[in-house]
């Protein structure tokens, strides 16, 4: 399935300081891509420090394959209320 727009993802969910992380971009539109160190005010980009910036003039779209799933290692009990749940898609 082709997705219009610009989508960026990494090869790791998290890295420690000093470790490398690779960024992958799938897109149908030219764009400018930046990696920033967030400032103290998380609601404002004014204090953010741009660490690296790239221009992508000729993006390549990578099709996705719907049908992904998550696996929960410890089964949830139907008789207990879930206090919190976070999903990132």
Q: Span 56-83, mean pLDDT?
A: 82
Q: What six digits make up the tokens of 3?
A: 């997705």
pLDDT score for 89: 61
Q: Span 35-53, mean pLDDT?
A: 91
Distance CA 24, CA 51 (A): 17
Tell me if 35 sits within 8 A of 52, measured CB to CB. yes
Per domain, the residue ranges of the chain are 6-56
Distance CA 14, CA 30 (A): 27
Tell me if 32 sits within 8 A of 53, measured CB to CB. yes
Distance CA 16, CA 11 (A): 14
Tell me if 53 sits within 8 A of 17, measured CB to CB. no
pLDDT score for 80: 83
pLDDT score for 50: 94
């Amino acid at each position: 399935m082709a997705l219009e727009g610009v989508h960026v993802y990494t090869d790791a969910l998290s890295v420690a300081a000093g470790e490398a992380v690779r960024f992958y971009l799938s897109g149908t539109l030219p764009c400018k891509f930046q990696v920033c160190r967030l400032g103290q005010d998380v609601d404002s980009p004014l204090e953010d420090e741009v660490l690296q910036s790239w221009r992508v003039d000729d993006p390549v779209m990578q099709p996705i394959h719907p049908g992904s799933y998550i696996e929960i290692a410890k089964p949830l009990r139907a008789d207990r209320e879930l206090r919190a749940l976070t999903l990132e898609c």
